[in-house]
Amino acid sequence: MKIMISGGGTGGHIYPALALLDTLKQRHPNLEVLYIGTENGLEADLVPRAGVPFKSIRIAGLKRSLSLDNVKTAYWFVQSVLTLRKEMKTFRPDVVIGTGGFVSGPVVFTAQQLGIPTILHEQNSIPGLTNKFLSKKADRVALSFAGSESQFPDANVRVIGNPRGSEVLKTTVNETSVRAEYGIDERPIVLIYGGSRGAEAINRAVIEAIPELASEQVNVLYVTGNVHYDNVVAKAPKADNVHVLPYVYDMPELLACASLVVSRAGASTISELTALGLPSILIPSPYVTADHQTKNASALVESGAAELIKEGDLSGETLVRSIRHVLAHHDEMAAASKRLGFPHAAESLADLVEEVRA
């Protein structure tokens, strides 16, 4: 079997693709894969690191307002399609899969023009422009959230969850080794991060919260994102139980040891939390399309699996208050989170690949 797959920009589009590939490789040891991304996106680091063949194209996202940049985007889209037509005729993929981000647009579009079966995976409860545009001609559209079907009225949709959740369940963890690696004791772990690139608002709140967190019977692991790390370290008060990290490549290992997660409400994060049954404090990004992170978080908040803090209400005080509340109600919130998970999402998406290939 030959698979061409594309998704990029953030980890939320990349990790589900890698989780699917892992599942397909188990089924087809001779699987041939070509991952298409951009040279400046996070995929240019994560995909080769995972040992997956990678090629880049030049493309940019459309602006939602009138802009001369859209003329450049249209030009690079056409150029990418011409390049991809040659690539697909050489590689001859059986199925082409898009997991989101603007880079997947020309990849799936080209496959559809060539009559190659295509699958889209939508991680968010509210879809992006790329997937909505491509969905009408896609052979299957796989959704992460029940209730999102109405966003694709003319598509062949299946609700399967997010493959990233399946991936974290496969992680074998030696908690003693993990604690030793990060220099933390046996107290509960509060893991705080702001997505693959970090979040300045969360940085400010954590810095404000550290004096209070220093007296709590917890270990705090705070992942700042590479671009924010030096600034946070320079400003953050010192506390023996607060550990600041720039980036974590093996996040599933840390998640498996955590008692509470504080994070944005990206789709991959939601899938990881519910697969593992982790209670959380969710701080949706207000800068994403259609405020979809707030919608992503709603099922967890409504079921009692998470607390939500709007970025405008976020401070050191509100963060510490929520951390104390969730830890006090840990067991019931963890059970509520577990009930929302899709533990077999990667296998379900691989089943769709087999369907359209046949």
Q: For residue 113, what are its two tokens?
A: 């023009």
Q: Residues 98, 79: contact at Cβ < 8 Å? A: no
Cα→Cα distances 77→262, 271, 328, 329, Å? 37, 31, 52, 50
Range of the domain at 240: 169-338
Per-residue model confidence (pLDDT) at position 349 = 97
Output the CA angle 273-21-155, nearest 5 degrees.
80
Closest CA to 341 of 207, 218, 160: 160
Same domain assignment for residues 76 and 112? yes
153 and 217, same domain (yes or no): no
Same domain, 7 and 57: yes
The stretches in the chain having pLDDT less than 50 are none
Phi, psi of 327 (to 5 degrees): -65, -30
**C-alpha dihedral, 32 to 36 to 40 to 43, nearest 10°:** -50
Q: Are 154 and 233 in a shared domain?
A: no
| CB-facing half-sphere around the CA of 279: CA atoms within 13 A | 23
Token pair 């404090």 in the structure block, residue:
281
Residues annotated within a binding site for UDP-N-acetyl-alpha-D-glucosamine = 10-12, 124, 196, 293
| Shared-domain flag, residues 196 and 80 | no
> What pLDDT is attached to residue 71?
67
> Same structural domain for residues 349 and 328?
no
User: Are residues 132 and 186 located together in one domain of the fold?
Assistant: no
* CATH code for the domain of 266: 3.40.50.2000
Tokens representing residue 250 in the block: 């093996």
Model pLDDT, residue 345 = 95
Query: Is the same domain home to 353 and 274?
Result: no
Cβ proximity of 159 and 148 under 8 Å = yes
Nearest to 132 by CA among 94, 96, 82, 98: 98
**Domain count for the chain:** 2
Q: Which residues are annotated as a binding site?
A: 10-12, 124, 196, 293
